[in-house]
Structure 1
Amino acid sequence: MTQDAILAVPVGLRPVKGQVSSVGAVRRLRALYALGHFARDIAERSGLSKDAVADLVAGRPATLDASRDAAVRACFDELSMKVGGSAKTRLRAQAEGWVPPLAWDEDAIDDPAAVPQVDAAAAVPESGERAVARWLAGESVVLSQSARAEVVGYLMEWSSLSSAEIGVRLGVSAGAVERQWERLVRRARVEGRPVPWRRVSRDRNRMLKQSEMGEAA
């Protein structure tokens, strides 16, 4: 389906050919196991075989084709905001100490030296409009992946905060905020909804310098 194909294109510059490290793919699939997703559902949505999924979950091979890595990323983007119904995969993840998606910063998950944020993983994430409103009101709320995306969308569209400042508030990098914003814009465009845009900018809120006023005249 064209819509699914467009949404599956990774945001940002990634290798499209050759072999890449499997670290990110392994962590993403293990995180989906921690959410209780069935191996068959992961295989179906990623286009990989169940054997290929099982091998990656087991931590092998050390590298994989860039196209397969992209497929795992797309699958992760689709399923990381949902809870699966498999007790088997969830129990295996618990036994192995694998953490859910919330424990990984988007920029760190591919870094072999990075470690998950275990405290964030242990907390119970909240979702829905109520969770977003509470977070925006200043309450201490652990946001789910979907709620975090809503917060990013709201702040990028309606506030003058930079992506770096939003990242500080959410505990993620500026790059992660920008990629989430790009996904929101792209999804709205593909689904035919009004495309969000940055309505407030710092340039509008600051006074023009004398030289700028002369140039603008």
Structure 2
Amino acid sequence: MSCSQISIAAGVSRASVNNARHGRNPSLNRTIAQKILAVRPCIVRPTDRVPSHGTRRRFQALYTIGHGPTGITAATGLTTTGVQHIVYGTSAVVTAATYMSARAAYRQLVTTPGISAKAKASARRHGWAPPTAWGSNIDDPAGVAEVNSPYQPQSANGRDSMRRAEIAHLLSLGESVASIARQMRANEKYIGDLISQGLAAPSYEAAA
């Protein structure tokens, strides 16, 4: 099974599976560990059904920065109706193929603001969390979004808010600047600069 297949089957982030696989951290959140250990070897097929919360959170976060169903449809290949069903929580499960396309679209769209004022208004009305509110716990069913995390679009020098969230998560796991730079394929000065600006670690379920 690939890291993506394990993360889908376990309901945890791919980063958590990757970190466990490479032994990057001396310890692991017990809840995450139990979910990974509960996975039985199998191949996740594109038509298999998986929980929709990770896909829904990504789409809702994209709404907060102006990417509505039209833009998400173009990036994922889903229908606008399908996107709306996921966004508004009427679909409890999605196919593995939809989940993977949602992840790819999220990475593509999250670094730039969209143009849909209607999507932003809907996100405000429903109180959806922006991209910066989610770290690697976006796929964790028990994951909690960080409040008061305004969206900061990617600037010309590439220091976008999603990288800040990832750095904060790795810092919370005790990773060094050198290790973070290596994992993110960035230089240490860039990582150090972001850390010096003040990064709060994202909220995760406390380890038992």
Distance (whole Å) between structure 2 residues aligned to residue 73 and residue 173 of structure 1: 26
Does 2:106 match 1:115? no
Distance (whole Å) between structure 1 residues aligned to residue 110 and residue 120 of structure 2: 14
Does 2:86 match 1:56? yes
CA shift digits 1:62-115 (9 cap, x unpaired):
111101110111100100111001100001000100011111012x11112111
* Number of equivalences: 144
| 1:173–1:19 Cα change, 3 Å | farther
What pairs with 1:128-207 in structure 2 (closer than 5 Å)? 128-129=156-157, 144-145=161-162, 148=164, 167-168=170-171, 181=184
Largest Rg, 1 or 2: 1
What is the deviation of 1:19?
Answer: 1.1
| 1:44–1:62 Cα change, 3 Å | same
TM-score by length of 1: 0.56
Q: Residue 121 of structure 2 corresponds to which residue in structure 1?
A: 91
| 1:30–1:178 Cα change, 3 Å | farther
What pairs with 1:58-73 in structure 2 (closer than 5 Å)? 58-73=88-103
Q: Residue 43 of structure 1 corresponds to which residue in structure 2?
A: 73
CA shift digits 1:24-48 (9 cap, x unpaired):
0000000000011131110011011
Q: Residue 34 of structure 1 corresponds to which residue in structure 2?
A: 64
Distance (whole Å) between structure 2 residues aligned to residue 101 and residue 29 of structure 1: 10
Structure 2: unaligned runs, 5 residues or longer: 9-43, 189-208
Code of the aligned partner of 2:150? A
Code of the aligned partner of 2:161? S
Does 2:155 match 1:127? yes
Q: Residue 191 of structure 1 corresponds to which residue in structure 2?
A: none
Code of the aligned partner of 2:87? V
| 1:126–1:78 Cα change, 3 Å | closer
Q: Residue 3 of structure 2 corresponds to which residue in structure 1?
A: 12
Would the aligned equivalents of 2:132 and 2:151 in 1 still touch at CA under 8 Å?
A: no
Q: Residue 27 of structure 2 corresponds to which residue in structure 1?
A: none
| 1:89–1:113 Cα change, 3 Å | same
Distance (whole Å) between structure 1 residues aligned to residue 108 and residue 183 of structure 2: 13
Would the aligned equivalents of 1:127 and 1:144 in 2 still touch at CA under 8 Å?
A: no
Runs of 4+ in 1 over 4 A off after TM superposition: 123-126, 171-174, 177-180
What is the deviation of 1:128?
Answer: 3.8
CA RMSD across the alignment:
3.4
Task: Pick 1 or 2: higher relative contact order, CA cutoff 8 A, min separation 6.
Answer: 2
